[in-house]
Each structure stands twice: as structure tokens, then as C-alpha cells.
Amino acid sequence: MAAPEGTTIVLKGGRVVDADGERTADVVIADGLVVGVGPDLSGERTLDAAGCIVAPGLVDLHSHLRQPGQEEAETIETGARAAALGGYTCILAMPNTIPAVDHAGIVREVLELGRAAPCDVLTAGAITVGRAGEQLAPLGEMAALGVRFFTDDGAGVADARLMRRAMEYAGGLHHAGRGVVLAQHCEDPVLASGGHMHEGEWSSKLGIPGQPAEAEELMVMRDLALARLTGTRVHFQHLSTAGSVAMVAAAKDAGLPVTCEVTTHHFTLTHASCTGYDPVFKVNPPLRTDADVVAVRQALANGSIDCIATDHAPHTQEAKEAAFDAAPPGMLGLETALALTLTELDLPVAEALALLSWRPAEVLGVEASHGGPIVPGRAANLTVVDLEERWIVDPSALASRSRNTPYAGRELAGRVRHTVLHGEPVVIDREAQR
């Protein structure tokens, strides 16, 4: 239940971890804000954080919420509830809804639906009308409503001339004094066409047509060149190959204004998972090789990747029960991303949280209210995580309306105990409050 106005809440006995460092401290919240951080603090209501870390809420740059159009797979409400249970206080909805988020009317609809959600919901706008890759969408009218992120995700913009124009257009757009970000799902549709998994050893063995790593890498290469040409800030979504992360790292070293994300599945699963022809492992970009996973993990550890994103992509059981080549790509992510990051990556907690919280908050431009630091005066968007708690992923227990997690039965360490959104505890003791 929302704390009545004026009620003070204390997160008691935890270890505060944010971009400023770590300290043992209680955190007091009132009227949506952090009002005290220190030892032996009290409030009218106490949420136990003993043995836990208290961190800024997580921020996801890549959530498919399916509304409008595919509410049987997810809604903004169910996706946001899954996000809150996963420790997120802000998520960015992808525009590949039906119809696509490609003009002001749909932006308004999604933002309106998001207002009641147990997590801040922002939306990305499409770069092209209908995500069809032919004509630029009215980025300016969407930016005027606060859209800061544009992508045709689900597909890349194949036409280099159009992408160049999109970069030039986006480069001049501002909202509330900030520029917008042009983001790209890198996949050359011609080279990838007909491929349902990574092209390599396993696609040959299984007889499933593959898409080569080069289908992603060619578009990364091209868009780095276009970013150099136009000077526009570009964000590379869900990079999955060793070649892609190396190119983006080199471009950053050379001073290009680019950022990138990788997904949890691209550092925890490989194409070998497709052996059983189970479409739960079908995703775009596809699961890659061991060497790619190693390269992604190294890039996460050395700081050349900015963020971990979920690419939360719910699909109905019916859709995912189709044959591998007929099933849609995508897997759930919001409820498992934090635990996978903590369990699978050998990173200090603060570095894991940087990738999941404060860096994506900066990329998205929401750092004034998300991503910490946890100090008086800041918005109380927080998550409390028990690093020791071990749990087994049970698809039937997930809050998402869909069940397509590839991690069913996997034991993970680290679980969200509470999540606080603008001062309201939306998750208490692992239970969603609304």
C-alpha cells in the first residue's frame, strides 16, 4: 500500500551502495524523497533491510511491453509489475507495438497507461513510420512529449541514407535542454534473412538456417561511420558478437559519442542451447558462440559496455509452442536480469549496479530521478536486494503475463526484497503491492 503523505519510512539495517561508494546506513524516505541517510535512523514505518544492499532502482533501456496490440502476451501494467519485482524503477518500452509508437498520439497513449504502473514507464519512439524503414517518423513531435530515445527495434534501419537523415534530424532535437538518442537494432535484413539462429556449428548440426555474426557487425560498422559523419549520439542495442563489442569499444576510444548495451542472455547462454529445438531459446540477435560470450563478459568487466539491458520480450505460450523456425524471437528478462548479473558475472556489486542502474539512467537522461546517488533530497527510487538469497526460476511464479523464460529451473543468487518507487513501497518482502 502506498505510504500516506507525510508518513516516514525507514529502510533499516542495510548496506547502501551507489555511485558514491558503500556504507552501512539506514535510509529514511518521506514524501517521495530520501530525507536521511545514516546510522540509527527511525521512521513511522520500517522495512527490514538487514543483510541486504540498498541500491538505486534499476533502469532498463529495453523492455517490450506489448501494449497496444498484443495484450495477451503482456500489458504495461504486468510488465511494470515484473520490472518492480526485478528491482527496476524505470523502464523504457520499445516501440514495436501494434500499431508502432511512431507519432504523438500513441506516445500519449503509452505514457498515459504507464502513469498507473508500479514502475516509471517511458517509451521509445520509432525512427521510421510503422518501423517500415522507408520514411522518417515525426521525431520532433514525439521529442516534444518527452521521448528521448528512438529506435525501430525488432528491426534495424536498413537504408543507410535514411539512417543518416535520422541522425541529422535527431542531432538537432532537444527536450528540456537535453538531446535525444538515436538507437539501433543492428541487423542487416538481407544477410540475416531466413536465419533463425546464429550461423555456425550448431545451425549446421541442427539443420536450422542461421544468420551470420556479420549481419549484426556490418550495421554496427556502418552506423559507427554514420555517427562519425553526422556527429550524432548513437546507442547500439543488444550487441551480441565479439566483433561488435570490439568495434564499439574502439570507436569510444577514438572519441565518438556512442554507447551500447548487452542483454543478460547474451552473456549467459550460447547457441548450443538450441540443441533441443526449443523456441524458448530463439531470440534476436541470436544466441552466439562461447567465444562471443567470453568477449561480451570481458567487455562488461573492462568498462567498454555501458549497460546491461533485458530485451524483455514476452510471447504467449501458443506462439512459443510453434516449431523453431515459425516461433517469434524473444525471451523474458525483467525478473531475472539482476540475479543473472550477480550470479554469472564476477563483478563487484557496485560495478554490476552501475551497469544496471546509474549508467542506463544517464544514457536515458533520467539521472535526476533514477540511478541515485542515495542522498537527502533525491527521489526515493530504490531497491533492496538480498545478495545471499538463492532461488530457483519458476516460470509459473513470474509476474509477467508470459512464461517464455529460458532460465526455468536455474538456481540464482540475489533477490529483490523491496522496491520503492517515488517513496512508495511497490514491492515488500518479495510481494508486489499493486
Phi-psi label, residue 423: left if phi above 0, alpha if psi -120 to 50, beta otherwise: left
| Distance of closest approach, residue 152 Cβ to ligand DOR, in angstroms | 10
Looking at residue 329, the DSSP 8-state letter turns out to be P
Q: Which of 60, 153, 306, 335 binds ligand DOR (CB under 6 A)?
A: 153
The answer to whether 202 and 171 have CB atoms below 8 angstroms apart is no
Distances (CA, A) of 355 to 367, 406, 433: 14, 22, 27
221/209 Cα distance (integer angstroms):
24
Between 297 and 312, CB nearer to ligand DOR: 312
Nearest CA to 244 among 203, 198, 181? 198
| Distance of closest approach, residue 421 Cβ to ligand DOR, in angstroms | 25
206/115 Cα distance (integer angstroms):
46
Binding letters toward ligand DOR, positions 290-319, x by CB under 6 A: -----------------------x------
| Distance of closest approach, residue 247 Cβ to ligand DOR, in angstroms | 20
| Distance of closest approach, residue 64 Cβ to ligand DOR, in angstroms | 4
246/184 Cα distance (integer angstroms):
17
Q: Restricting to residues 248-287, which ones interact with ligand DOR according to CB under 6 A? A: 283-284
374/400 Cα distance (integer angstroms):
29
| Distance of closest approach, residue 93 Cβ to ligand DOR, in angstroms | 11
Between 96 and 400, CB nearer to ligand DOR: 96
Q: Which of 12, 164, 185, 198 binds ligand DOR (CB under 6 A)?
A: 185
Between 96 and 244, CB nearer to ligand DOR: 96
Active site residue 253: no
| Distance of closest approach, residue 244 Cβ to ligand DOR, in angstroms | 15
Give Cβ neighbours of residue 104 (< 8 Å, ≥ 6 apart): 138, 141, 142, 144, 145
Nearest CA to 260 among 294, 291, 219, 290? 219
Binding letters toward ligand DOR, positions 31-70, x by CB under 6 A: ---------------------------------x------
Binding letters toward ligand DOR, positions 315-334, x by CB under 6 A: -------------xxx----
Output the nine-digit C-alpha cell for 3: 505510504
Shortest-Cβ-distance residue relative to ligand DOR: 330
Binding letters toward ligand DOR, positions 370-399, x by CB under 6 A: ------------------------------
| Distance of closest approach, residue 342 Cβ to ligand DOR, in angstroms | 23
| Distance of closest approach, residue 96 Cβ to ligand DOR, in angstroms | 5
Rounded to 5°, the CA angle 160-161-164 comes to 85
Rule CB under 6 A: say whether 405 interacts with ligand DOR. Answer: no
How many residues sit close enough to ligand DOR to count as binding (CB under 6 A)?
11
| Distance of closest approach, residue 127 Cβ to ligand DOR, in angstroms | 14
Catalytic residue among 120, 306, 311, 386: 311
Between 43 and 154, CB nearer to ligand DOR: 154
Between 64 and 271, CB nearer to ligand DOR: 64
Rule CB under 6 A: say whether 96 interacts with ligand DOR. Answer: yes
Between 185 and 418, CB nearer to ligand DOR: 185
Torsion of CA 409, 331, 204, 216, to 10 degrees: -140
Between 86 and 330, CB nearer to ligand DOR: 330
Torsion of CA 176, 86, 288, 166, to 10 degrees: -10
Beta bridge partners of residue 386, listed in sequence order: 415
Nearest CA to 316 among 400, 216, 416, 220? 400
Rule CB under 6 A: say whether 189 interacts with ligand DOR. Answer: no
15/52 Cα distance (integer angstroms):
6
The answer to whether 386 and 392 have CB atoms below 8 angstroms apart is no
Rounded to the nearest 10 degrees, the angle between the axes of helix 242-253 and helix 213-230 is 20
16/22 Cα distance (integer angstroms):
6
Looking at residue 424, the DSSP 8-state letter turns out to be E
List residues binding ligand DOR (CB under 6 A): 64, 96, 153-154, 185, 283-284, 313, 328-330
Give the residue numbers annotated as catalytic, written as ranges: 311
